[in-house]
Structure formats: C-alpha cells, structure tokens
Structure 1
Amino acid sequence: MTAAAGAPELGLHTDLSNEAYHADKTSLSSSGARKLLPPSCPAKFRHEQDHPQPATKTFDYGNAAHKEVLGNGPELVLVDHDLWNTDAIRAEVAAIREAGGIPLKRHELDMIKAMGEALLSNPLAAALLDPASGAPEQSGFWLDGPTGIRRRVRFDWLPTGQSGRLIIPDYKTSDDASEDAFQRAVAKYGYNMQAAWYEEAAQVLGLGGDDTELLFIVQEKKPPYLVNVIGIDYFAREIGRAKNRAAIETFADCMETGVWTGYGDEPNYVSLPGWTENRDKETYL
C-alpha cells in the first residue's frame, strides 16, 4: 500500500523522532495490532489514531523512567510545588506539555532518579542496556509480504556492533515485577504479540537471525524499585505470531475498504467463564 507523503522510508531509522514515528497512519505497529483484535476492535483503533489520548500520570511515569533509563526521550521538567492547583502553575504545566516535556513534582523526579540507579544495580539489566554496546529508540519500517501493508517497530534499545545472537531488551515499569504478575500482564496487554512482532522486525530488517529474542526488563515503581528480566516462552510467542497475522489481515482489509468495524451488526452470544460454569453446573444442574 502506498505510504502517505512524508512518511518515513522503509528500513532502519536511527534518529527518527517519536512524533514522526507515530504520525504515520499508513503503517501498523505492534500496539496498533493489539488494539485491532478482541476485546478491542478496528473502530477503537481508528478512533485512537484520530484522537490521541491525553497524558496521564501512569504514562508520565513510564515515559519519564524510559528517559532516565534509556537516555532518550522528552525532557523531564521539575515543577517544584506540592500542589498544582493555581492558574499560574496549571499554565506552567500546560506550557511544559505543549513543548513536549514531562512536568514532575519533586518527589516524582526523585523517584525516577532512584529507579535509574536501582536498574544499574541489576547486573543483567545493566548489561542489556549498556550504552557502550547499544542505542535507544530506533525505528524500522518494512512491507508485509502477504498483504503489502507497511509495518513499523520502535525498539526501546537496539544492540550495535555485536556478533552472534541478537537479544533485544524492552523496558517496562509496573506495580509488580514478579513473574506471576507479568504473566497476567502478558494476557492483558498482549506482550507475547509484541515479542513476536519485534523479533520478526529484527529479522526482516537484517538485524538478527531466527534465534533473535526479546527480553522484558520490568521494574517496579515503588522502593526498592526491583528489576526482573523476563522472557516469554516459545508457545506463547507462536500464539502471538498467529494473532499478529490476524491483526495484519484485519488492518489490510480495513485500509482497502475504508470500513473500521465495531462489534458487529448482529447479536453476539457469550457463555459463562469456564470456572463459573464448572462451579454452577455442579451446584444447580
């Protein structure tokens, strides 16, 4: 499919801004692919493209931590007031956001700094994000073989100048970085789809081979800011690959027809959740 005028060229971009990356509505990203599939739908995907969501504290903390840990991203700006409840302070905060920065209170900025220090104390995470052997926020664009649509990826961190197997780290903040909690997050947010997407992107862009793997660096947002490096097993990534393919086909169809479907025009029937059905049939049937 034809790219919009001014859309990034195919291939790897080492200095493309986050704004330019997200501005290309003719290409599909991993987060977009996940938004196309249930429990979401194409109509929600398209609405979010046309109506970007306002900043929230959750996103502010995540983006600020990315800046501190990866060394690239929006400027972190201290607004040194305990309460942001006057017109003057609100105007100051709005101006910072308008300029692309992230406004933070003193305790929030201290938290972000402490998270960065804690991450460096984890040997594996520090090695994966070693500035001497990698670079942050690199973007790639390529054409999907079966459909011809433009696909895109933005790596948190991409190792450079290394031989052998490519390991791609992806940094995430969380309230709970344990394996149990992250397993639930994989199911909720489709991180297995992200892993499969990024690994395929690296292969297509000529960065790594079939043994390329994405590892998540998950860090808690409360002291002691623990870090857990977590991978996703083969079968979960295979399911992610299959779901990615379904999302790509859906995107291609919507782009061709111009129809971004919602939940359908006919009644949709549901059953009880499995555990509820098993419990109630024993009791009442």
Structure 2
Amino acid sequence: MNLEIPLGLVDMTNEQYHAAPGISKSHLDVIARKSPKHYWEKYINPDHEEDPKSLVFMVGQAMHTAILEPETMSQRVIVGLPHDRRSNANKQAWAEYELEHAGKIILSQENIDHVRRVVDAIWAHPVAAGLLTGGRPEQSFFSIMDVPDGEGGVLIDHDTGEIIQELVKCQTDYRVRGSHIVDLKSTEDASEAGFGKSCANYRYPVQQAWYEDVLRAGGDWENENWAFLCFEKEPPYALGIYYLDEFDVARGRVAAERDYKRIVECRRANHWPDYGEQIRKLQLPNWMKL
C-alpha cells in the first residue's frame, strides 16, 4: 500500500491529483473496458509515455477553471500566438512560448471566447448558479478502503489474517459539505435521453458510487445529494441537471467493487492478462444481420 500522501482532504492542483498514488474511478474504467494488461500499461509500466493533451482536453480544463475557479482563469489560461506552426521560425517561436508558459493552458482567442460563452450560460441559469454557490471547488480526497470479496465480505490476506486495504482517491468538482455535490459534464446532447446515453457509456453511476465510498471510507461522507450539471458545447449552450436513483447508484457500486477487486488481485499477483488465455467462442452482437 502506497502512503506517500496524507489521508483525507488534500490541497493540490488537478495535475498533482492525477499524478498522485491511489486507485481512482479512471482506474476502474480502464480495467473494466479494456483488460488488466491495458491497466498495467497505463498505470504500472515505468516506461509508459503519456499521450499529448488534446485540444478537447485543454478546452475542458479551461471550462472547469472558468466555471469553478474564475478568479484563477487569467493565471491558468492564456492566449496562444497569433500564427500557425508551419514554418521553422513559427515552430521555434511556439516552442519558446510554451516553455515560457509551462504548466498553463494555451488556447486560441476563439476557444477562450467559446469557454466564456459556456460560463455565461451556466451563470444565467436559474438553478445552476445556486448549485455552484457556498461550497468549494475541486476537492481531492484520499482514504484507505477495504477490498470487497464479491460475496458481501472483504478480502483477507491468508498469510497474515489481515483485511486487505488499498489507497483510494476521488476529486469532487464542487461540494457544499452536508448539502450537495455537483459534477460538471460537457456533452453534445444535454437532453434527458441524450445525457442518459452518456451516463451509461461513461459509467457515471460507477463514479457516484465510488466517490461516495471513498469519502465514506475516510469518514467524510455526509449523505450529500448528487447532481450532474451537464452543458452542451455548442450554441445555445443548453443545460440539463439530473440525479440518479438509488437503484442505479447501487448497480454502479456493484461494478465499482468488482473492478476495484480485480485491480487489487492483479497487483498482488503481479499478473496482468489481456483479453483471455483460452480459445473462446466469439459472441456476436444481437443486432447483426447477414
């Protein structure tokens, strides 16, 4: 168990949080959607090289900053150079500019204006603005959590007889302690049907269950209500605000516990299989027509 970081609420940047040890919801997604081998490559392999941050990712980070911490926007997000990178001189100018502003999000003026229009839409909304008032943004929380055995109990180390535990973490977008947690989601379609598909595809019930359990394991869960504040990325920047019922969160918890258990078992055995070590019958999708 890696305890290189203090437990509980830790003041850190978004970048520090993602670089910190601990199993997060993103970890659960990799092992659930791909394989233990993919998990090893992303989180264990010492030679793994991170992919360059995409424009979509950087715009998303800028939106979170502008919505949750607008007072830091001018320090964390800046306008890039007005020319492209085609010539050698332009490439050199860009390299020097990025080095000078290392750690900052560099966007075009067009993208920054786009971010501001989304923020204006959120703060003009009669409910969204109230949800984002009176709390604290981007809180990082670390705790030690038992590993479930999949049968209603917890995993036990057969050599020591001790309960197996691991360092886990979560980072809430916006939390009003004792009241509610707001999770921001940018989307192509913020309608109930559209966001429902996104919720299923991106396993948001797993996220809510995981966050609740991480906070509960550290004694910091106060039965807050949970709201997904989703906003469309194109005009008219329509918003939708939704919550999940207890049944869906419970199903998310089952999946989270399954994925958490698998990660821990692979780590302890140092065994990282891919999609299968036996020849299996291929299951074709039900919708296939020949």
Q: What TM-score results when the alignment is normalised by the length of structure 2?
A: 0.83
Gaps of 5+ in 1: 281-285
1:28 and 2:23 aligned: yes
Supply the AA of the counterpart residue of 2:246: Y
Determine what percentage of the aligned residue pairs are the same residue: 28
Shift of 1:84: 4.3
Structure 2 residue aligned with 1:218, among 225, 230, 241? 230
Q: Aligned with 2:127: secondary structure? A: helix
- CA displacement 1:118-167 (0-9 Å, x = unmatched): 1101122111111xx1111111111112330111011111214xx5xx31
**Is the CA contact (8 Å cut-off) linking 2:83 and 2:90 kept in structure 1?**
no
1:116 and 2:119 aligned: yes
Structure 2 residue aligned with 1:240, among 248, 252, 260? 252
Q: Aligned with 1:28: secondary structure? A: coil
Structure 2 residue aligned with 1:18, among 14, 21, 37? 14
- The residue aligned with 1:152 is 169
Q: Aligned with 1:274: secondary structure? A: coil
Shift of 1:47: 1.6
Supply the AA of the counterpart residue of 1:31: S
CA distance in 1, matches of 2:192, 2:66: 24
Q: What does 1:230-269 align with in structure 2 at a 5 Å threshold?
A: 230-269=242-281
- The residue aligned with 1:47 is 41
Shift of 1:89: 4.4
1:127 and 2:130 aligned: yes
Supply the AA of the counterpart residue of 2:15: E
Q: 1:238 to 1:92 in 2, by over 3 A?
A: farther
- The residue aligned with 2:142 is 141
Structure 1 residue aligned with 2:98, among 78, 96, 100? 96
**Is the CA contact (8 Å cut-off) linking 2:174 and 2:181 kept in structure 1?**
yes
CA distance in 1, matches of 2:165, 2:256: 15
- CA displacement 1:24-81 (0-9 Å, x = unmatched): 34x20011111111x3112212222343232111111111100110116881110152
CA distance in 2, matches of 1:263, 1:56: 28
**Is the CA contact (8 Å cut-off) linking 1:203 and 1:212 kept in structure 2?**
no
- The residue aligned with 1:9 is 6
Shift of 1:96: 3.1
Q: Aligned with 1:119: secondary structure? A: helix
**Is the CA contact (8 Å cut-off) linking 1:33 and 1:247 kept in structure 2?**
yes
Q: Aligned with 1:117: secondary structure? A: helix
How large is the Cα RMSD of the aligned pairs? 2.3
CA distance in 1, matches of 2:183, 2:94: 29
Gaps of 5+ in 2: 148-163
Q: Aligned with 2:59: secondary structure? A: helix
1:202 and 2:219 aligned: no
Shift of 1:233: 2.3
- The residue aligned with 1:193 is 206
CA distance in 2, matches of 1:143, 1:256: 16
Q: What TM-score results when the alignment is normalised by the length of structure 1?
A: 0.84
Q: 1:174 to 1:208 in 2, by over 3 A?
A: same
CA distance in 1, matches of 2:40, 2:282: 26
Shift of 1:269: 2.6
Shift of 1:90: 4.0
- The residue aligned with 1:283 is none
